[in-house]
Chain A
Amino acid sequence: MMLLEAIILTVITASTPLLIAALGELVVEKSGVLNLGVEGMMIMGAACGIAAAIFTGSSAAGVLAAILAGMAMAALFGALTLGLAANQVAAGLALAIFGLGLSGMVGAGFVGAQRAGIGKIEVPLLSDIPLLGPVLFNQDPFVYASFALVFLVARFLNRTKAGLVLRACGENHAAAHALGYPVLRIRFLAVLFGGACAGLAGAYMSLVLTPFWSSGMTGGRGWIALAIVVFASWLPGRAAVGAYLFGGITILQLHAQGAGLRVPPQLMSALPYLITIVVLVLIMRLRRGGAAGPASLGVPFVPDR
């Protein structure tokens, strides 16, 4: 019983950053922009988050700094791909390389600096329910935020006019433009939202999951978040399923190593990446090529005056 509870709790902490980052990228892609630089924005969030938290002594300041750092990186990407209509794939790669380097420089002064993680918020009474209580109602604020985000993103995309316009930009930017919507401005806002989410996910990495800085600490999670968006068929609810699936695999691998399973640790470490590939293939098979992403995804848009 206790073990099960412990496993579920670690799965939640492993899945939360994936879910937050994936939800941000989902909105970006729904607007028709492919930002491959999630890894770069995320690690900048992690570096700036812990730097600001140690500097000010406030976790809230750290989270805010992480969000702003992610948005600043996203703005750079937006300026290039939307303002200058640059190739989105290449610009996303540049963002990832640039972010990995810059985060190393930002974090250099904080290597080895430990700080207490962010405390949990206990919901009174409900958290006393056996098993369900600690799992659902005694979590850090990020976990609650990630669930709220699933609901809010789904509602925004499917139930609001703004969400409809954003999806229109992603499906057919020429038509959205013809109807008088500022396609580039809408896409830029979506990209900023994606950056904020990636920064927040990074803050979770450096402030909660492993509360210290180490270079390259996101370890490819930004890329897995991208895979989750594809896996989820651009649906927020399914992104949550995907994030928990991947988080679960990560934890399974740790427990398998702890249980003394006689396989090379490298094979276990490779498992999340291999499973990502398998899942991407399976989901494409199931979908039979139909219902792919937004129709204008990755296509630059240059309005005629």
Chain B
Amino acid sequence: MRLVLETRSQTPPALALGAPLLAVALTLVSAVLIFAALGQDPWRALQVYFIAPVSDSWGLQEVAVKATPLVLISVGLSLCYRSNNWNIGAEGQFLVGAMAGGWLALATHGAPNGPWLMPAMLAAGAAGGALFALIPAVLRTRFGANEILTSLMLVYVAELLLDWLVRGPWRDPQGFNMPVTVSFEPEAIVPLLLEGGRLNVGTPIALLVVVLAAVLVGRTLKGVEIRLVGEAPRAARFAGFDTNRLTLTVFAISGGLAGLAGVLEAAGTVKMLQPGLSPGYGFTAIIVAFLGRLNPVGCLVAGVFLAITFIGGENAQIMLRMPLDATRVIQGLLLFYVLACDTLLLYRPRLVASTPA
């Protein structure tokens, strides 16, 4: 017996929704097995991991706080991946955005500032992330350097730059030698949606970005270009689309969104700059983008799901003493299953009796 893939002439619409759900179901089954292997009661672990984070209003707010950067970054990445541009350095663009916005907050610290500061910080963050993402894009379009490798290498560079800044020039002199900056002033902190809550205006911004991206992909010529370049590059060339320009555009958009997520995280959630600013949002967002089938609305749903695994992982570490690496394993498995299930969309797998060669 062997497995044969038959190309489908068209994808059944129910499958487009079913495939990611199947991947999630398979991940949950695997999670149960992993929990059991770690000597946990699987049902209790499953409850702590996936149910507890969404069972009260505090938990739901936490999920939204964590989902916000994931959604922002993954929407940008989905535009890249759709057009066959492999930006895997969103983690670095996130950090550069946080540094660019944070620089404004620190430069105006103790000086008179006003309501202009917050919008300026957000703009600086987005610009910083976009410029940082343009480095691999330009190296690809001008020199043909592989953007996968260059964008990833720049993640390490951004991490080290942040590390240097908060240990050196930007360190809080009263911080007992801790590698942190001063806490941002109230004007430099992203306003909360509700007094006493955890949600800030970053979350509605992310929702707005999802809507804008959905319109861009589904309703504009740029969206057609993105899809065509990804699915049929030759046809796109004959249609006169400039693939180099598109590479620069999608890298700038995705870098800008990652940078925006970064400054929102620094000025909204953490309220200062420190080395461990991101728990790997930039890499997890890659999984979000694929789980969301490279579709902005899909990214929203997938972002919420992966935010749950982040919080569930933290809960499990505290309540069950489970290693935080278990979360990474589950996230990695999820991406495997998503990719495997995507095969169902393009091909009909069929077992046939092996024929002698």
Residues of A in contact with B (beta carbons under 8 Å apart):
36, 76, 80, 83-87, 89-91, 93-95, 97-105, 108, 180, 182, 215, 220, 223, 226-227, 230, 264, 266-267, 269-270, 273-274, 276-277, 280-281, 284-285, 289, 292, 302, 305
Q: Which residue of A lies closest to B151 (CB)?
A: A277
A-facing residues in B138-172 (Cβ within 8 Å): 139, 143-146, 148-150, 152-154, 156-157, 160-161, 163-164, 167-168
* Contacting pair B145 A270 (CB below 8 A): no
B346 within 8 A of A: yes
- In angstroms, Cα B335 to Cα A90, docked, is 8
CA distance A273 to B342 in the complex (A): 34
Q: Do B7 and A302 touch (CB < 8 A)?
A: yes
Query: Told that A84-B349, A280-B146, A281-B139 touch, could you supply 11 new A-B pairs with CB distance under 8 A?
Result: A80-B340, A84-B5, A86-B339, A94-B339, A100-B332, A220-B156, A266-B160, A269-B160, A270-B161, A277-B145, A284-B145
Q: Which residue on A lies nearest to B4, using beta carbons?
A: A305
Bound state CA distance, A280 and B152, in angstroms? 13
Nearest A residue to B150 via CB reads A277
In Å, the complex CA distance between A59 and B108 comes to 58
Contact between A102 and B149 (Cβ–Cβ < 8 Å)? Answer: no
What is the total of A-B residue contacts with beta carbons within 8 Å?
A: 142
By beta carbon, the residue of chain A nearest B333 is A98
Could you list 13 examples of A-B contacts with CB < 8 Å? A87-B342, A89-B148, A100-B328, A101-B331, A104-B328, A230-B146, A230-B149, A264-B164, A266-B161, A270-B157, A270-B161, A277-B150, A277-B154
A280 touches B150 (CB 8 A): yes
Contact of A267 among B144, B145, B164, B346 (CB under 8 A): B164
Question: Would you call A227 and B149 a contact (CB within 8 A)?
Answer: yes
- Residues on B with beta carbons closer than 8 Å to the beta carbon of A269: 160
Which chain B residues (339-357) contact chain A, with CB distance < 8 Å?
339-340, 342-343, 346-347, 349, 352, 357
- Judged by a CB distance under 8 angstroms, whether B287 is at the interface is yes
Contacts of B254 in A (CB 8 A): none
Min CB–CB distance A229 → chain B (angstroms):
10
B63 in the interface, Cβ–Cβ < 8 Å? no
**CB-based nearest B residue for A88:** B339
Q: Considering the complex, give the chain B residue whose CB is closest to the CB of A34.
A: B148
Whether B194 sits at the interface, judged by CB under 8 Å, is: no
Question: CB-nearest residue of chain B relative to A265?
Answer: B164
What's the Cα separation between A251 and B149 when bound, in Å?
Answer: 22
A186 to chain B, nearest CB (A): 13
